[in-house]
Chain A
Amino acid sequence: QVQLQESGPGLVKPSETLSLTCAVSGHSISSGYYWGWIRQSPGKGLEWIVSMYHSGNTYYNPSLKSRVTISIDTSKNQLSLRLSSVTAADTAVYYCARQILLTAPDAFDIWGQGTVVTVSS
C-alpha cells in the first residue's frame, strides 16, 4: 500500500523559508511516476505548485517558480519542498502527491494527509 507522509514546521515567519518533506512508503520514488506538491489555502481551492520526476525533469507553477525548490532523495525515498520569502498568502495545507505518468504527467492518484503551514510572526 502506497503511503505519503508530509512533515515540517507548522509555523513559519514572514520572509523566511518554508521547508517540507514527504516520506514515501510502499513504492519506490525512482519508478514510473512524477511526484508533486499541491496546496490549499484556508477555505479555498487547490493550487498546484510543482511536479518532479526522479531523473530531474521538473514542471513549476510559474507564479511560484522563483521561490520554489524541489528535490528527490532516492536513498531516503522522499521528496522535499522549499518555498522562500513566504508571506501570509502562503498559509495553507500542503499536500504531496504521486502523479500518474502515461504519455505525459497526468492525474494525482495518491495523496498525503497534508500538513498545515501558517505564516505569522
Chain B
Amino acid sequence: QSALTQPASVSGSPGQSLTISCTGTSSDVGGYNYVSWYQQHPGKAPKLMIYDVSNRPSGVSNRFSGSKSGNTASLTISGLQAEDEGDYYCSSYTDSVTFWVFGGGTKVTVL
C-alpha cells in the first residue's frame, strides 16, 4: 500500500479539464511544499511535470497545474489532449522514516 493515496483512474474528453488528487498526511503533503507530479507513458521513464506543489519545469505545457489544500495535493490538466493519456504519480518529502514517498499512480484515459 502506497504512502500517498491517488484514485486508480480518471477519464475525460478532449478539451475538458480533469483533476487528480493525492492525499497524504501532515508528515508529508500537508507539512511540506515538496510535492511533485510525474507523467509516465507505457514503457517509458517518468517525466517531471510539477515540483514544489505548483512549479512547472521548463518545457512542460502550461495546461498542467498543481495545487495543495491541507493534506491533499492536486494536479489539473486543462484542455485535455490524447497525448496526456498515461499514468501520473505524485510524490512528497516525508518526515517519517522514508524521506520520499510516491502515490500508487492514476491512469488517465482520454475518451
Contacts and interface: CB of A to CB of B under 8 A. Distances in A.
Contacts of B104: 45
Contacts of A107: 34, 36, 48, 51-52, 91
Given A109-B51, A109-B57, A46 B98 contact: no
B111 interface: no
Interface residues of A, number: 23
Contact of A106 (B34, B47, B103): B34
B51 A46 contact: no
B102 A47 contact: yes
A109 B47 CA distance: 7
A62 B98 contact: yes
Interface string A80-108: 00000000000000010000101011111
Contacts of B99: 48, 51, 59, 61
Q: How large is the interface on B (under 10, 10 to 19, 20 to 34, 35 or more residues)?
A: 20 to 34
Interface of B: 2, 34, 36, 38, 44-48, 51-52, 57, 89, 91, 93, 97-105
Given A48-B101, A107-B36, A113-B45, 16 more contacts: A45-B105, A46-B91, A46-B105, A47-B102, A51-B99, A59-B100, A62-B97, A95-B46, A106-B52, A106-B93, A107-B51, A107-B52, A108-B38, A109-B57, A110-B48, A111-B46
A112 interface: yes
Nearest to A114: B45
A47 B99 CA distance: 11
Top 6 closest A-B pairs, CB basis? A107-B36, A107-B51, A111-B45, A46-B102, A48-B100, A62-B97
Nearest to B46: A111
Contacts of B44: 113
A106 B36 contact: yes
